Structure 1
Amino acid sequence: MTASPLSRRRGSAAVVATAALALVLSACSDGGSGDGGGGGGGDDTASAAGEIDCTPYEEFGDLDGTSVSVYTSIVEPESDQQINSYKPFEDCTGVTIDYEGSREFEAQLLVRIQAGNTSDIAFLPQPGLLNTIVTEYPEAIVEAPAQTAANVDEYFDPAWKGYGSVDDTFYAAPLGANVKSFVWYSPSVFEGAGYEIPETWDDLLALSDQIVDDGAMPWCAGVESGDATGWPGTDFIEDVVLRTAGPDVYDQWVTHEIPFNDPQIVEAWDAAGEILKNPDYVNAGLGGVDSIATTPWTDAGLGILDGTCYLHRAANFYATQWPEGTTVAPDGDVYAFYLPGDGETRPVLGGGEFVAAFSDRPEVQAFQTYLSSPEWANAKAKVTDTGGWVSANKGLDPENLVTEFDQLNAEILQDPDSVFRFDGSDLMPGSVGAGTFWTAIVEWLTGADTETVVDQVEASWPTS
C-alpha cells in the first residue's frame, strides 16, 4: 500500500502538560439555604449532585434571595439535568437559578439582545456567535470575572480560553464539550474477524483494505441534514487537516491566514478522499460514493448493527442515533475508537458551549464561576444518569460519568498529549462555514475534483 500523506508529513503539536485533578468534595458551609427555585428535585437532587465547598462564593457577598436568569438551547429532558446540577450552588448561596430552554434559542437570542431584553446568562453553541455579539452589540455583553478566568486557566486546555475570547478579552468560559474524532464499529464483528483497533492512519487504511480483501465494503457515510446538508463532511475534512497539516496550519486555515485552497489543505482533502471517494470503500449497504450526499447523517452508521458496514466516522453524540436498546460499550453492540493520526500526535476535533453573561451583578459572576469549576462539572456528571455528556474540565473525575463511552471522551479530552481544536466550520465566517464549505462537500462527493471545490470556497471568503 502506498504511504499516506500522514506517514509522509508530521504535523506539529503543542503538548498540554496539565494533569487531570482528583476532586474531593467537602461539605457545604453556611452560605444561605435558598429555596432552590429553578433547581427543583429537593433533597434527592441535592444528594445526587453532591455537596460543594461554599467558600469560593463567599467573596461575592451575601447573595441570599437573589436570582440569575439563564437562556439556552438545551431543552427537556437534558434541561432537567442542567437544572439539577445547579442545586449545590443554590444551596450554598441562596441564589435562585431561573432556567429557560428554547428550541428557538439561536433565532431569538440576537432578537432579545437587540430589544434589550436579555437574560443574565446564555449558553452560546459556538465561538462565532460570541464574536458576533461582541462585535455588533459590545454594550450588551460583559467580560468574565477574574474568578472565572482563574478556573479556566487552571482546569482547561488553553485553547478553550481562546475560543471564549474576542480580541484577547475573555468573555465566556466553556461548559460542556463534544469529541468528533471517533470511528464507530461493532466489537463482536471485529473480534470474530480478528481485526484490531488501528493506531495510525496507515493502520486505518490497511484495515480498510483487509476488509475489502475479505469480500466486504468497510465504510458507510452520510452528509444529508436538511438545510445543513454537508456538515458531517466538513467535520471529516477538519479532522484530516489536523492530522496531515497539524494544529498550527489548522488555526491559520480557519482564520484565513492561509487561503482555503492552500496546498496543505488540498492534500488533506485528497487524504480524506482516500476513504470517502474510494468506490471500494464506500458507501457500504447504501450505494456508491455519490450516495453519501443523499444519505441522512442520522442513518448513515446503522449498517454496523446488521453487518453491512464496518466503519463509520462520527462524533460522540452519534451515540444518541442508535436504536433504543442498542448497547454502546467495548463489549456491546457498537462502540467507537479514536480516529488515529500519525501515531505521534493526538489531535482532537470537537465542540461545546460557552457561558456568556449580560450582567455583572455579583450573583451572576458567582454563577459563572460555579459553572467553570470542577464542582459543577462533577455535579453535572452525577445527575446525568442517562449518560451522553462530558466536559473538557480537567477537574472532572471520569468515574462520576455514567457510561464507559463518556469516560473515554473525558480521558481523551484530559490526555496531556491531546491537542484540541474547535470545529473549523463554526469558526469560519457563517457564509463559508455554514454555506460554501457545506456546498463544496456535496459537489465533491458527487464528482467535482478537490481543486475545483476548494477554489470555489476560497473565492467566496468575505473580503472584510
Structure 2
Amino acid sequence: MTRRFAMLVFGVVMLLLVAGGMVVVWAQHDDEEPVTVLGTWTAGQEEQFESVLREFGVPFRYQGTAAQRDVLLSKVQSGDPPDIVIMPGLGELAEYAGSGLLEPLDELYDPREYGAPWMPSGTSSGHVYWVPVKADLKSIVWYREGEQPGTSPAPLGRWCVGMGDDGASGWPGTDWIEDLVLQREGPEVYEKWALGAGGTRWWRSAPVRSAWKAWDRLLRQDRAAAGRALLTDHRGHPKGSGLLFSDPDRPEEPAGCALEHQGSFALSFYGADARHARLTDSAPLLPDGGDRVRAHEVTGDFAALFSDRPEARELIGRLASKEGQEKWAERAGVFSANRRVTPPDDAVRGGIARRLRQGPRCLDASDVMAPAVRGAFYEAVLLTIARAASGRDPGLGELLEDVQQVQDAQPAPAAGGGAAPKTVCSTR
C-alpha cells in the first residue's frame, strides 16, 4: 500500500466513522488478556521499554514497528486496535479522538506536570487524550568532540544528510524546513502555519516559500550530495554509529561530513561514539537561518488509549507518572517532558533537558498536521531533493500549491469534537 493511498483510506475511514455510516465492532478483550501496546521503538530501546513496563506489574504485549502509522490504520480497519498506542503524530491522534475512537485520560495523571507545549491548551472538548511519555529536542546540530563548528551557515558538503526511513522517508527534510521557518519568522508565524490558521494559504506564503528556497539553494550546492541524501538512511548503517560517526570503509555512507541536523534521539544512533558527540543551536548554521535562536523545535512520543480496560488505564497512568518517567529515563537514557523528573547532570544531556524546559518551544509542525497534509509535505521534500540532484527546475510554486490543495481539502473539525490542538508553541 503506498503512503498516499494509505492516507486516502485513512481519511475515508475517519469520515465514515464521524458520519455514523460505519459500525466498528471492537474485538472483545478478556480481563486476563495482556494490555496490547503499539509503539515505534525496536531493538535495544524496545527491550529497555519492556523492562520498564514489566516493573509496573500489569501484563502487557508490546509491538514495535517503524511502520507504525500503517500498522495502526490496518488494526483500526480490522476492528482490533491496540489498547495503547504511542506515536509522535498528534494530528493523527486528534483525528482518532475527534472520531470518538480514543478514551479520555482525564484523572489518570496531572497534566500540570507536563504543561505547554506538550499539553496544548484550548481544545473545546475539555478532555485530555494523550500524554507525552518521551520528549526530544530539535533545532540543534550535532558535531564531533573537538571539531566545534563556526557561527556562520555551513555548506552542504559539511552536512550529514539522510532522508531514508522504514516508515516515512522524507521527514528529516521537513525538520530543515520547519527549523528555517521557526528561526527566520518566530513562534507566532510558525504556529499559524502548523495549524493552518488565520485564513492564510500558508504553503504559498512568503515565510514558507522563502524558507523552502533557502533549503533548495543549499541542496543545489552539491548535486551528488543531494542524490546521496535520498539513498541514505537517516540513522546511518545498521551496524555503524549513525551518520556523524560513519565508517569511511562503507561507501554507501557520506564521507567527510561533520555536522548533523538531527534531534536528540540521534544519541541512540551513535552507539559507543555518543560520548564523543557534542551539540549546538542550529540557527547560525542554517542557510539564512538568522543570527539568533528564536525558539527550539521539540517533539514527543504521545501515549493514547483505544480501550477503557482498567488494566490499560493503570499502565498508561503508571508510565506517565513521575516514577514511571524516571525509570524510563534512567533505563534508556531518554528525556522526559515531566517537569518533576530530575534532569541529567552531564553537559550534553543536561543541555538537552534544559532546552526542553526553558524558553520558547514549538512542537514539530508536521507531527501536528493532519496525516494527509503531513504525507504531502514529505513527498514535496523528496521531490525537491530529487530535482536538486538532477539539476532540474525546483518547481517550488507547483510543489507548494499541491500541498496547499491537500490542506484545503481537509474537512472542518466535527462539531463538539475539539480534539485537535489549538496551540503549538510555548513562550515559557
1:350 maps to what in 2?
Answer: 298
1:318 maps to what in 2?
Answer: 266
Give the letter for the 2:37 counterpart.
Y
1:141 maps to what in 2?
Answer: 102
Give the letter for the 1:133 counterpart.
Y
Separation in structure 2 between the aligned mates of residue 105 and residue 264 of structure 1, nearest angstrom? 32
2:146 maps to what in 1?
Answer: 188
Q: Return closer, same or farther for 1:305/1:170 CA change in 2, 3 Å cut-off.
A: same
- Is 1:152 the counterpart of 2:95? The answer is no
Q: CA deviation at 1:431?
A: 2.8
Q: Return closer, same or farther for 1:344/1:180 CA change in 2, 3 Å cut-off.
A: closer
Q: Return closer, same or farther for 1:359/1:292 CA change in 2, 3 Å cut-off.
A: closer
- Is 1:451 the counterpart of 2:400? The answer is no
Q: Select 1:392's aligned residue among 337, 340, 349.
A: 337
2:129 maps to what in 1?
Answer: 171
Superposition pairs of residues 240-279 of structure 1, within 5 angstroms: 240-257=180-197, 258-259=200-201, 260-273=203-216, 275-277=218-220, 279=221
Q: CA deviation at 1:88?
A: 5.3
Separation in structure 1 between the aligned mates of residue 194 and residue 126 of structure 2, nearest angstrom? 17
Q: CA deviation at 1:398?
A: 2.0
| CA contact 1:346–1:419 (8 Å) conserved in 2 | no
Deviations 1:426-463 (A, max 9, x none): 322333312x3223223323240543432332234342
- Is 1:340 the counterpart of 2:340? The answer is no
| CA contact 1:276–1:289 (8 Å) conserved in 2 | yes
Give the letter for the 1:421 counterpart.
L
1:421 maps to what in 2?
Answer: 363
Q: CA deviation at 1:224?
A: 4.0
Tell me which moved more, 311-320 or 111-120.
111-120
Give the letter for the 1:246 counterpart.
G
Separation in structure 2 between the aligned mates of residue 186 and residue 408 of structure 1, nearest angstrom? 16
1:221 maps to what in 2?
Answer: 161
Deviations 1:169-191 (A, max 9, x none): 3211111122232212222334x
| CA contact 1:221–1:312 (8 Å) conserved in 2 | yes
| CA contact 1:241–1:265 (8 Å) conserved in 2 | yes
Give the letter for the 1:71 counterpart.
V
Q: Return closer, same or farther for 1:319/1:276 CA change in 2, 3 Å cut-off.
A: farther
| CA contact 1:185–1:304 (8 Å) conserved in 2 | no
Q: Secondary structure at the match of 1:399?
A: coil
Q: Select 1:120's aligned residue among 78, 83, 87.
A: 83
Q: CA deviation at 1:375?
A: 1.4
| CA contact 2:187–2:360 (8 Å) conserved in 1 | no
Deviations 1:207-263 (A, max 9, x none): x37xx9xxxx43342324477432211111011111112222222212222321111
| CA contact 1:346–1:417 (8 Å) conserved in 2 | no
2:234 maps to what in 1?
Answer: 297
TM-score normalised per structure 1: 0.66
| CA contact 1:184–1:311 (8 Å) conserved in 2 | yes
Separation in structure 1 between the aligned mates of residue 124 and residue 76 of structure 2, nearest angstrom? 18
- More RCO (CA 8 Å, sep 6+): 2
Give the letter for the 1:328 counterpart.
A
Q: Select 1:80's aligned residue among 27, 47, 55.
A: 47
Separation in structure 2 between the aligned mates of residue 391 and residue 87 of structure 1, nearest angstrom? 19
| CA contact 1:72–1:102 (8 Å) conserved in 2 | yes
Separation in structure 2 between the aligned mates of residue 71 and residue 319 of structure 1, nearest angstrom? 25
Separation in structure 1 between the aligned mates of residue 211 and residue 106 of structure 2, nearest angstrom? 40
| CA contact 1:123–1:355 (8 Å) conserved in 2 | yes
Structure exhibiting the larger radius of gyration computed from Cα positions: 1
Q: Return closer, same or farther for 1:352/1:166 CA change in 2, 3 Å cut-off.
A: farther
Q: Return closer, same or farther for 1:274/1:66 CA change in 2, 3 Å cut-off.
A: same
- Is 1:98 the counterpart of 2:60? The answer is yes
Q: Secondary structure at the match of 2:382?
A: helix
| CA contact 2:169–2:378 (8 Å) conserved in 1 | yes
Q: Return closer, same or farther for 1:228/1:126 CA change in 2, 3 Å cut-off.
A: closer
Give the letter for the 1:70 counterpart.
T
RMSD over equivalenced CA pairs, Å = 3.4
Separation in structure 1 between the aligned mates of residue 71 and residue 232 of structure 2, nearest angstrom? 30
Deviations 1:292-320 (A, max 9, x none): 44444344934777672232212223334
Structure 2 gaps of 5+ residues are 1-30, 237-241, 249-254, 285-289, 412-428
| CA contact 2:88–2:367 (8 Å) conserved in 1 | no
Give the letter for the 2:404 counterpart.
E
Give the letter for the 1:451 counterpart.
G
1:410 maps to what in 2?
Answer: 353
2:374 maps to what in 1?
Answer: 433
Q: Return closer, same or farther for 1:290/1:261 CA change in 2, 3 Å cut-off.
A: farther
| CA contact 1:348–1:419 (8 Å) conserved in 2 | yes
Give the letter for the 2:152 counterpart.
L
